[in-house]
Amino acid sequence: MFVNCNDEGVPFGETRVQCKISDVLDNPVPDELNKLLPFVLDDADEVPFGVQFNVFGCGGFAIGVCISHKIADALSFFTFLKTWAAVCRGDPRSSIAFPEFVSAELFPPKTTLGFEPRSGISTDKIVTKRFVFTALKIQEIKENIGDTTYPSRITTLSAFIWTRFIATIQADAIHEGEDNRFYAIVHAVNLRKRFNPPLPDHSFGNLYRIAMTVPTKNSQQDCRNLVNQIGESIRKIDAENIKRLRDGSGQYLEFMKEGTESFMKGEMVTFNVTSLCNFPVYEADFGWGKPVWVGSAGLTFKNLVVFMDPINGDGIEAWISLKEEEMGTFENDEIMRGFVVS
């Protein structure tokens, strides 16, 4: 409900890493990358931000950064890093787009009693792995699906990965008995460009909402229909939708609360998608040049896909977090393996 600023700054640590940075770049292992972060994820409840400066034996370095989702979404995070880097390298203030703190004005605080935003964070053993889809493979997936109304890379890959995810967990459910759960695909949607007039990218806060798609029963076989369902769910979050959200956001919170309750009871299985594509991920230049690679650590949020642009611009990296026993089946799925390069 508020941010308590105590002027103590943020944790900053320096470490020595006993390997070469090429060992990380040649084979990034998300769960190993957690060692480059300033704290154990989701343990630092009261710390909004932290930094760890990692120096490798070869002289290369990596900056590990964590930010609390209580205060910022992904675009705010990367825009802040870009601004921070510009200040460090001495850019004139007139050329820097400093964050605008507009969240409380746009969405005044509401009572959130009974709402648990951390419901997706799991105590199960979660494994994160990186899957790379080249532009050529994404095009091949599109051709296999056929013509759709919403033929974006994100809708296409979301639908494709979901079919392999659902094949994984339904195979397990067959052994355990009849599967009576229902499924939902949840996309985080950036609201800034959907306001009327649009907000600048440096508007700071959690300026997103979710688009929920409940796939039809035959969606695993009819991927074309699923792509259209996902695209339509995202399209509905427009300026008029945002206006209704601002006028009566209590209804949205109630909807989220009901969804959380279904999730906690095991009645609903959610598949969560966040796209960081076209975000300023590679623009944080502290004075040594732009980064040669940006990646994620192993996350504790299950059934999660994070899409990122690779530095060479060819295709998409999908960072996927699943329960350990499900990941083994998922990554060895023959159809999945036919379209990824790593």
Catalytic residue list:
69, 285
Residue in the block written with tokens 């440096």 = 202
Instruction: Identify residue 313 by its one-letter amino acid code.
Output: G
At residue 105, the 3 state secondary structure works out as helix
Q: Please state, as a whole number, how many other Cβ atoms lie within 10 Å of the Cβ of residue 306.
A: 22
Q: Is 327 in a helix, a strand, or coil?
A: helix
Distances (CA, A) of 205 to 75, 106, 339: 9, 10, 36
Choose among 341, 306, 337, 275: nearest CA to 128: 306
Contacts of 167-173 with C-beta under 8 Å, sequence gap 24+, read: 167/220, 167/333, 167/335, 168/322, 168/326, 168/329, 168/330, 168/333, 169/269, 169/326, 171/329, 172/325, 172/326, 172/329
Q: How far is CA 93 from the centre of its chain?
A: 31
User: CA 14, 17, 23, 24 torsion: positive or negative?
Assistant: negative
